[in-house]
Chain A
């Protein structure tokens, strides 16, 4: 018997008992929905959690400080840097050429005097303060551990736009929930320069105005202001033209740090060791991420097991329905054999019937699971939004959906094997009834 004929017979067979077929498909649909929804939610939650840990940057990111490594801190996630050491073009080129390094993004920084019109937590006018401005190539922000909480990032090359961190929000007595309140506020930013007059060291500033365009969470470098590279370079040039005063931001190191992306999470440790050998201090949340991933993997295994148990229960339902079908269709099977069908032809018809139940249930279940995951995601995002947290981006899980369909089909075919074998082994004399 051809596959085409077997498929036609299988579909016709299912139409004999549409109610039973529909209920069996429903069981598979529910199980596949559960599996798909659980894995989709788990996958998205993992992405969200890891994103939170890496602050939106790559998981395999490593912060390199313009400092020597402290031998006591080597290998720690939050290693404290040792003595300052200039990070220049030569060091940048050396680190960029290390094996297993995928990308290197330089970070610059300088100290700026900030005058804000905002009030502090006690409602008093905020005193002017010195704060570090971190300068990055905004075009490469996706490679950096920067995530936007409110508003947007400054535009590259524009010297009148800044983003602030949650540290700044704290300074003005706000929390993440109120982040949007500071967007649009103006700051006066002053680059300081030390100079001598009458044998006294004095400071003068070069001022300009900038608007807060966004609030970010960032781990590129320590500092409450995130600005385009160009703004930091202009300020550094002015500050470094004066007398050396580290308090005012005088710094001989061209770069404040580097953000290195290793070629995969597994290579983070190796790259850190290599950078340490070059002579710079590194930090990366590799141990934390590895631990979290292990826990998330355990959660994923548990959720998968729950979904699979549901699928197995559905498969038992398929086996039961198929056994009932074989019992009811003994004579029909006998007739098929009487007109020339071999055992394997009958086996094929019943296997196709079972697989069709699984396939249809798998497709409906995958779609249902995706819709459930979206609905759950919507509820979760509503809660996160109320808490002022970044929402979950539901990842379209192609492999989960494909796995649900293929898995359901395969499991259904496996469940249908026993009834199909039983049907195939029925004697052909069933065609004339019990004799």
Chain B
């Protein structure tokens, strides 16, 4: 399986409020090759998370197009967007996004279940993924009983539960210490090789961004290519 190719053309997104409108993305263009690791940096409020939402089909583009592996998300219905997320995308959030009432294995298993895997096979896959991220001994721990780094690794395991072709990570190391950051980043960087997926990483940490094959900077609604390593 190969990663998903991403093509964004003229993407514009505006938030309306009583105090007026705020355009956070203003004609953004982005092309990511399949299997690449791409970092997007920017100041707080620059629109990084909005761009990630649009790339991950969490929101529908207002203007412009987002085409991932030939799927134009701007024309998809709510159910089609949900199907797309379920089949194609894996998310890693800064706040981990784990359900505190479920164990690590149940959190990952839930994503397996949602992607259509039966309960028993889902549990087996969840255990294999948690084992792969070094959490074999933490299967039955709930998130409050895990460290920040462990929670983020559970989140990565969950992101891989549906065997996604595109992994989107929103500030994945924002709440982690240095050691945990290194471990999580190593994991994310290994995904294209180990799981054949494209990784798009949003961060405000320029050192982390520098490790990516391509690094973009989002400012004043525009996406600027900062560096390309290959």
Known contacts being A343-B79, A429-B58, is A338 close to B97, with CB within 8 Å?
Answer: yes
* Segment with Cβ contacts to A, from B81-89, B146-154, B186-194: B81-89
Size class of the contact patch on chain A: 20 to 34
| One of A2, A334, A337, A435 near B113 (C-beta < 8 A) | A2
With an 8 Å Cβ cutoff, the count of chain B residues facing the other chain is 37
Whether A340 pairs with B111 at a CB distance below 8 angstroms is yes
Known contacts being A16-B100, A16-B101, is A338 close to B95, with CB within 8 Å?
Answer: no
Report which residue of A2, A15, A334, A431 has the largest number of chain B beta carbons within 10 angstroms of its beta carbon: A431
Whether A338 pairs with B110 at a CB distance below 8 angstroms is no
**How far, in angstroms, from A390 to B57 measured CA to CA in the complex?**
74
Whether B95 pairs with A15 at a CB distance below 8 angstroms is no
Provide the A1-40 mask, 1 if CB < 8 A to any CB of B, else 0: 1101100110011011000000000000000000000000
B102 at the interface (CB under 8 A from A): yes
Whether A432 pairs with B53 at a CB distance below 8 angstroms is yes
Whether B97 pairs with A335 at a CB distance below 8 angstroms is yes
Whether A5 pairs with B113 at a CB distance below 8 angstroms is yes
B219 at the interface (CB under 8 A from A): no
A427 at the interface (CB under 8 A from B): yes
**How far, in angstroms, from A55 to B170 measured CA to CA in the complex?**
81
Whether A339 pairs with B49 at a CB distance below 8 angstroms is no
A396-434 CB contacts (< 8 Å) to partner B: 427-429, 431-433
| One of A2, A13, A338 near B85 (C-beta < 8 A) | A338
**How far, in angstroms, from A335 to B90 measured CA to CA in the complex?**
11
Whether A432 pairs with B113 at a CB distance below 8 angstroms is no
Whether A340 pairs with B100 at a CB distance below 8 angstroms is no
Q: Tell me the nearest residue of chain A to B100, going by C-beta.
A: A16
| One of B57, B79, B87, B113 near A1 (C-beta < 8 A) | B113
A120 at the interface (CB under 8 A from B): no
Q: Tell me the nearest residue of chain B to A425, going by C-beta.
A: B78
Q: Tell me the nearest residue of chain B to A329, going by C-beta.
A: B99
Whether A435 pairs with B101 at a CB distance below 8 angstroms is no
Known contacts being A331-B95, A431-B93, is A343 close to B78, with CB within 8 Å?
Answer: yes
| One of B82, B114, B158 near A343 (C-beta < 8 A) | B82
Known contacts being A338-B85, A340-B162, is A432 close to B78, with CB within 8 Å?
Answer: no
| Other 4 A-B pairs with CB < 8 A, given A337-B58, A339-B110, A339-B111 | A13-B101, A16-B100, A343-B78, A432-B170
* 8 shortest interchain CB distances as A-B pairs: A340-B86, A12-B101, A335-B97, A340-B114, A428-B58, A342-B82, A429-B58, A429-B53
Q: List 13 A-B contacts (CB under 8 A).
A: A1-B114, A16-B100, A339-B111, A339-B162, A340-B87, A340-B114, A340-B162, A341-B114, A343-B79, A345-B114, A428-B59, A431-B58, A432-B49
